[in-house]
Amino acid sequence: MNGIERVTSLLPSRKDYRWIRRTWRGDLLAGVTVGIVALPLALAFGVSSGAGAASGLVTAIVAGLVAAVFGGSNIQVSGPTGAMVVVLGPIVVSHGVGVVALVSVLAGIVVLVAGMLRLGRVVSYIPWPVIEGFTLGIAIIIFLQQVPAAVGAKAGPSTNSFLAALESLRGIDWSTAWWSIGAVAVVAIIMTFGRFVHQQFPGSLVAIVVVAVIATVADLPLARIGALPSSLPSPLVPSIDWASAGSLIGPALTIAALAAIESLLSARVGSTLADTGPYDADRELVGQGLASMASGFFGGMPATGAIARTAVNVRSGGRTRVAAIVHALALLAVVYFASTVVSQVPLAALSGVLMVTSTRMISGATIRSVVGSGRSDAAVFIVTALITVSFDLIVAVGIGIAFAAFFALRTLSRSGGVHREELPGAAQPGDEHIALFRLDGALFFGAAERMLDRVGRISNVYVVIIRMSQLQLLDSTGARVITEMVHALERRGITVLVKGIQPRHLRLAERVGVIDSLRHTNHLFDELDAAVEHARSHVGRSLAAEEAALEAAEREAA
* Top mean-pLDDT range of 66-70, 425-429, 483-487: 66-70
What is the per-residue pLDDT for 159? Answer: 67
Q: Can you tell me the mean pLDDT for 37-63?
A: 90
Position with higher pLDDT, 6 vs 144:
144
Task: Please say whether the beta carbons of 384 and 397 come within 8 A.
Answer: yes
In the predicted model, what is the mean pLDDT of residues 364-377? Answer: 86
Whether the predicted pLDDT of 3 surpasses 90: no
- Work out the pLDDT band at 109, boundaries 50, 70, 90: very high
Q: What is the pLDDT of residue 19?
A: 87
The pLDDT, as a whole number, for residue 316 is: 78
| Highest mean pLDDT, choosing among 34-43, 73-82, 160-169 | 73-82
Query: With bands split at pLDDT 50, 70 and 90, how would you rate the model's confidence at 392?
Result: low
Pick 290 or 419 by higher pLDDT. Answer: 290
Nearest-angstrom CA–CA distance, 348 and 151: 8
pLDDT in tens, 472-499: 888 887 888 888 888 888 888 899 999 9
Q: At what angle do helices 281-297 and 53-70 cross, to 10 degrees?
A: 140
Cβ contact 505:524 at 8 Å: no
- Could you please report the per-residue DSSP string of 98-112? GGHHHHHHHHHHHHH
Residue 434 has a pLDDT of 92
Residue 195 has pLDDT above 80, yes or no: no
* Contacting residues for 501 by C-beta, under 8 A, at least 6 apart: 468, 469, 509, 514, 524
Q: What is the pLDDT of residue 448?
A: 60
Q: Tell me, what's the pLDDT at 254?
A: 87
Q: What is the mean pLDDT of residues 306-323?
A: 85
1 pLDDT above the threshold of 60 = no
State the Cα–Cα distance between residues 269 and 126, nearest whole angstrom: 14
Q: Residue 235: CB partners within 8 Å, gap ≥ 6? A: 294, 297, 298
Burial class of 443 by CB neighbour count within 10 A (0 to 12, 13 to 18, 19+): buried
Weakest-pLDDT range from 276-285, 394-403, 459-468: 394-403
- In this model, does residue 377 exceed pLDDT 90? no
pLDDT of residue 416: 67
Q: What is the pLDDT of residue 447?
A: 56
- For residue 444, name the pLDDT band (cuts at 50, 70, 90): low
Residue 171: the pLDDT is 74
Average pLDDT over residues 360-369: 83
pLDDT at residue 245 is higher than 60? yes
Look at residue 256 and tell me whether its pLDDT is greater than 70.
yes
Most confident of 14-23, 149-158, 361-370: 14-23
Out of 384-398, 427-441, 468-482, 542-556, give the one with best mean pLDDT.
427-441
The Cα–Cα gap between 391 and 388 comes to 6
pLDDT per residue as tens digits for the range 278-304: 889 999 999 999 999 999 999 999 999
The answer to whether residue 433 scores a pLDDT higher than 80 is yes
Whole-number pLDDT of residue 277: 77
The answer on pLDDT for 321 being more than 70 is yes
Q: Flag whether pLDDT at 551 surpasses 60.
A: yes
**In 401-533, at which residue ranges do the beta strands (DSSP E only) sit?**
417-421, 434-443, 463-467, 471-474, 495-499, 524-525
Q: What is the pLDDT of residues 120-169, one digit of tens each?
A: 887 767 788 888 888 888 888 888 888 888 888 877 777 677 888 888 88
Alpha helices (H) in 347-374, listed in sequence order: 347-359, 364-372
Average pLDDT over residues 408-413: 71
- Report the C-alpha gap between 44 and 64 in whole angstroms: 16
Cα distance between the two ends of the chain: 86
Lowest mean pLDDT among 8-22, 155-169, 186-200: 155-169
The yes-or-no verdict on residue 236 having pLDDT over 60 is yes
3-state SS, residue 421: strand
Cβ–Cβ contacts within 10 Å for residue 475, how many? 18
pLDDT of residue 462: 92
Q: Kindly tell me if the per-residue pLDDT of 240 is higher than 70.
A: yes
Distance between alpha carbon 406 and the CA centroid of its chain, in Å? 16
Burial of 128 (0-12, 13-18, 19+ CB in 10 A): middle
Q: What is the pLDDT of residue 535?
A: 92
DSSP one-letter code for 447: T
Mean pLDDT of 90-118: 91
Write down the pLDDT at residue 89: 83
- Residue 320 is predicted with a pLDDT of 92
Q: Each residue of 248-273: b (16+ CB within 10 Å) or e?
A: beebbebbbbbbbbbbbbbbbbbbee
Query: For the chain, what percent of residues have pLDDT higher than 70?
Result: 95
Is the pLDDT at 79 greater than 90? The verdict is yes
Q: Which of 157-171, 174-188, 527-541 has the lowest mean pLDDT?
A: 157-171
- CB contact at 8 A, 480 and 523: no
Under 8 Å between Cβ of 297 and 236: yes
